[in-house]
Amino acid sequence: MESRQIGIIFLILFPPLLLLLSFFFENEYFLLFGVALLLISMLIFFRSFEKKRMDAREIVLLATLAAIAAVSRIPFSMLPSVQPTTFIVIVSGIVFGAESGFLIGAVAAFVSNIILGQGPWTPWQMYSWGMIGLIAGLIRHTLVMKKKLGITLYGIITGFVYGWIMNLYFIVGFIKDVSWKEFIAFFAASFYFDLTHALSNAFFILIFGATWIKILTRFKLKYGLLSK
């Protein structure tokens, strides 16, 4: 099995695996264990991406999109869960593929946190936004993702999934002896923020999605970038 496939499998299985383990192992080092498991799965994927042959123009393009996604988050930091970063990561994954989508999402989280604040949440944000771009790239050729409504629905779903992953990070890292009742209550308490994120994703996709995809696709085809 190729390292790319191994990396994708690790990344997709990580949240349910960590959740399952959290109910069997309760110790003060579980957050560290979770971060280590997360970083290992991300490194496997980054390693497979590194083996791809890329020219300088493609690297510059990825860096530019990651920078735009990161900087666009900062002006919206005063509005909880409202930002265009997720939208940019989604359209990047749709146009340039799974690996590019993951890289742009992960780098955007890390770079924006240089201004907004780094912490134990950073790897989880990198993972969450990276996975949003990765999945968008993996399913970009499906009938659903060919329609604006389908992309909008994906944006709404990922708005909630992003929040759930960040909730998982907090629960396994800082709450001991959590019960299913407390687990559900904690996720219910974050519903407003997750809904805000989902609706902001839908707004940016509906207003700017078609234009961004058209421009990025034209740029990709004209210069032959990230076409493999």
Range of the domain at 96: 55-223
Is there a contact between 216 and 91 (Cβ–Cβ < 8 Å)?
yes
- Is the residue at 22 inside a domain? no
- Is the residue at 177 inside a domain? yes
- Is the residue at 47 inside a domain? no
Q: Is the pLDDT of residue 176 over 80?
A: no
- Is the residue at 21 inside a domain? no
Number of domains in the chain: 1
Q: Is the pLDDT of residue 48 over 70?
A: no
pLDDT tens for each residue of 50-92: 666 677 788 888 889 999 999 999 888 888 889 999 999 999 9
Which of the pair, 65 or 16, is modelled with greater confidence? 65
Residue 184 neighbours by CB distance under 10 Å: 10
pTM of the model: 0.85
- Is the residue at 50 inside a domain? no
- Is the residue at 137 inside a domain? yes
- Is the residue at 43 inside a domain? no
Which of the pair, 182 or 204, is modelled with greater confidence? 204
pLDDT number for residue 25: 61
Q: Give the CATH number of the domain where residue 146 resides.
A: 1.10.1760.20
Assign 20 a pLDDT band (cuts: 50, 70, 90).
Answer: low
- Is the residue at 65 inside a domain? yes
Indicate the burial class of 17 (C-beta count within 10 angstroms; 0-12, 13-18, 19 or more).
middle
